[in-house]
């Protein structure tokens, strides 16, 4: 069982609310991830308590209202995080993440290290997918998350083929 867990929160039906799930999928595709667990928790709220139980580290990725420019990413520790979410009545995971962490602590099951990557949304309108403001920053977001986890990029077989045989594009 891995000591580190990466959790995506958010509702992909609400545009930029789905950034966590999108980045989690990109991490799976682009990086080696044998040393930690990946969980798309969607709007699961309190279920996070069970997923982080007895882990050394939890990294949580979510859209967050921080009064910043759309697309801004900020890294918070559990000691730094403040509940900045606005209740919009559309998100199913409005349960306060701080309360979830507090519950985990009261149960004696909280990771020593919790890192939250919050990304300022441009839109949380129903449908439409991720906004351009977030999509143009995906590589930046992945780089920051990968650095936090000390990840190595996967080497695709197509890349290796082109590198080893410049004329072949299999």
Residue 156: the pLDDT is 65
Q: Which fold has domain 4-164?
A: Rossmann fold (3.40.50)
Tell me what pLDDT residue 132 has: 96
Say what the pLDDT of residue 168 is: 37
- Pairing assessment for the beta strands 73-77 and 113-119 based on DSSP bridges: antiparallel
Q: Domain segments of the chain: what residues?
A: 4-164
| Dihedral, 100, 101, 106, 107 alpha carbons, nearest 10 | 80
Residue 88 is predicted with a pLDDT of: 44
Q: Is 71 exposed, middle or buried (0-12, 13-18, 19+ CB in 10 A)?
A: buried
3-state class (DSSP) for residue 162:
helix
Tell me the pLDDT of the chain (170 aa) as tens digits: 789 999 999 999 999 999 999 999 999 999 988 888 999 998 877 889 999 999 999 999 999 888 899 999 999 988 886 444 444 443 444 457 778 888 999 999 999 999 999 999 999 999 879 999 999 999 999 999 999 999 989 886 344 434 443 433 33
């Amino acid at each position: 069982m891995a000591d580190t867990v990466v959790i995506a929160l958010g509702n992909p039906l609400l545009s930029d609310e789905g950034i966590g799930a999108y980045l989690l999928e990109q991490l799976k595709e682009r990086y080696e991830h044998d040393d930690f667990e990946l969980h798309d928790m969607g709007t699961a709220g309190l279920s996070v308590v069970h997923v982080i139980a007895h882990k050394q580290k939890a990294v949580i990725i979510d859209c967050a209202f921080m009064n910043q420019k759309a697309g801004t990413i900020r890294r918070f520790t559990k000691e730094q995080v403040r509940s900045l979410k606005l209740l919009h009545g559309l998100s199913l995971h409005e349960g306060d993440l701080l309360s979830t962490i507090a519950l985990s602590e009261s149960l004696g099951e909280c990771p020593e290290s919790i890192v939250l990557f919050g990304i300022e949304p441009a839109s949380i309108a129903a449908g439409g997918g991720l906004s351009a403001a977030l999509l143009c920053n995906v590589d930046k977001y992945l780089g920051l998350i990968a650095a936090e986890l000390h990840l190595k990029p996967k080497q695709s077989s197509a890349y290796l083929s082109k590198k080893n045989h410049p004329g072949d594009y299999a």
